[in-house]
């Protein structure tokens, strides 16, 4: 499987500083047998390229330097934790899936503690969203906090893998308001910007998984992208083919053309049979 992953971030047209962060890494352990008198080398085949990929986006909250500090601290702490515990994925199988998911969630909780420890005394109480995908082909594991998003495109259909953790979505889930119903007061728009879960504040991580297939496309992004580019256009651009970098460039250019009121960050992954 050929895996092509690319990420980019931009402060946008309005914000003075970029409070977003992203992270793309591979975790790899390999063994290549050159010679042996053993008759059966099948046990070593799984070690020829045992690898995982870690994709993260984070959107700092606060509108000040504190937001950037929070997002940077959270991504650093999460990546460090996964790097320290990466051994659990080298000989990973379904029987150890719970162990791997526990490591991912522990990484998010560590990020939460670090943000509070380092920046909790600051007046604005900085916090951050954190959307993480750990990919061990073909399975992708998602741990999510906040309103950044993860999507995947398959057969021309775009599916959102995460649910925004905002006051608006909380009221929709509780049946108190109807999703996307007309709102003359503008209050629902404001509720979309009120996070009910954020690293450094109060967290309720959600966990999910999906089995990917050749030709699928994965997208992680902050809301600076989705404020300007609707799902229909995400589908069109991701479905147009090309490299992951080319898709990111097209999405970023479109966002900038439309004013880019917020910081914008995205990571695109493309998967093709080799």
The 3-class secondary structure across 7-65, one letter per residue, is EEEECCCCCCCCCEEEEEEEEEECCCCCCCCCCCCHHHHHHCCEEEEEEEEEEEECCCH
Q: Is the pLDDT of residue 93 over 80?
A: no
Please choose, from the candidates 269, 264, 270, the residue with its C-alpha nearest in 3D space to the C-alpha of residue 251: 264
With vertex at residue 147, the alpha carbon angle to CA 143 and CA 152, rounded to the nearest 5 degrees, is 60
Task: Check residue 3 and report its DSSP letter.
Answer: E
* Token pair recorded at residue 20: 């977003």
Q: Provide, rounded to the nearest whole percent, the portion of the chain with pLDDT above 70.
A: 85
Residue 76 and residue 68: Cα distance in Å, rounded? 12
Query: For residue range 233-248, what is the model confidence (pLDDT) as tens digits?
Result: 999 999 999 999 999 9
| pTM > 0.75 | yes
156-177 tens-digit pLDDT: 999 999 999 999 898 888 888 8
Site of tokens 């690898």: 51
Q: What is the CA radius of gyration of the chain?
A: 20
Dist CA 135 CA 212 (whole Å): 9
Burial readout 115-135 (b: 16 or more C-beta within 10 A, e: otherwise): bbebbeeeeebbbbbbbbbbb
* Class (C level, CATH) for 2-32+47-272: alpha beta
Q: Which two tokens stand for residue 134?
A: 């750990």
Q: Is cis: bond before 108, omega within 30 of 0?
A: no
Q: Distance from first CA to last CA of the chain, Å, rounded?
A: 5
> Distance (Å, rounded) from C-alpha 97 to C-alpha 107?
15
Per-residue pLDDT reduced to its tens digit, 56-92: 999 998 655 689 999 999 999 999 998 887 655 545 5
Proportion of the chain above pLDDT 90, given as a percent:
64
pLDDT at 246: 98
Structural domain spans, the chain = 2-32+47-272
Q: pLDDT for 23-67, tens place per residue?
A: 999 887 666 676 676 778 776 665 555 678 999 999 998 655 689
């Amino acid at each position: 499987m050929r895996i092509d992953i690319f990420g980019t971030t931009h402060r946008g047209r309005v914000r003075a500083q970029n409070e977003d962060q992203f992270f793309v890494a591979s975790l790899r352990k390999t063994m290549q047998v050159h010679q042996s008198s053993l008759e059966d080398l099948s046990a070593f085949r799984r070690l020829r390229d045992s690898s995982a990929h870690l994709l993260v986006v984070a959107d700092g909250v606060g509108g000040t330097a504190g937001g950037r500090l929070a997002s940077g601290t959270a991504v650093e702490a999460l990546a460090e934790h996964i790097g320290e515990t990466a051994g659990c994925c080298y000989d990973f199988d379904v029987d150890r899936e719970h162990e791997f998911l526990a490591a991912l969630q522990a990484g998010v909780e560590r990020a939460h503690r670090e943000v509070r420890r380092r920046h909790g005394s600051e007046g604005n109480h900085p916090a951050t969203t954190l959307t993480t995908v750990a990919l061990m082909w073909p399975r992708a594991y998602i741990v999510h906090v906040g309103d950044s998003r993860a999507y995947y495109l398959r057969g021309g259909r775009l599916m959102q893998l995460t649910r925004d953790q905002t006051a608006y979505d909380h009221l929709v889930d509780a049946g108190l308001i109807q999703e996307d119903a007309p709102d003359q007061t503008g209050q629902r728009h404001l509720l979309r910007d009120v996070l009910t879960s954020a690293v450094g504040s109060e967290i309720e991580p959600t966990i999910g998984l999906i089995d990917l297939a050749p030709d699928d496309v994965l997208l992680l992004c902050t809301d600076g992208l989705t404020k300007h580019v609707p799902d229909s256009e995400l589908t069109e651009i991701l479905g147009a083919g090309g490299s992951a970098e080319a898709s990111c460039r097209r999405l970023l250019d479109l966002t900038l053309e439309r004013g880019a009121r917020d910081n914008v960050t995205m990571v695109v992954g493309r998967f093709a049979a080799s």
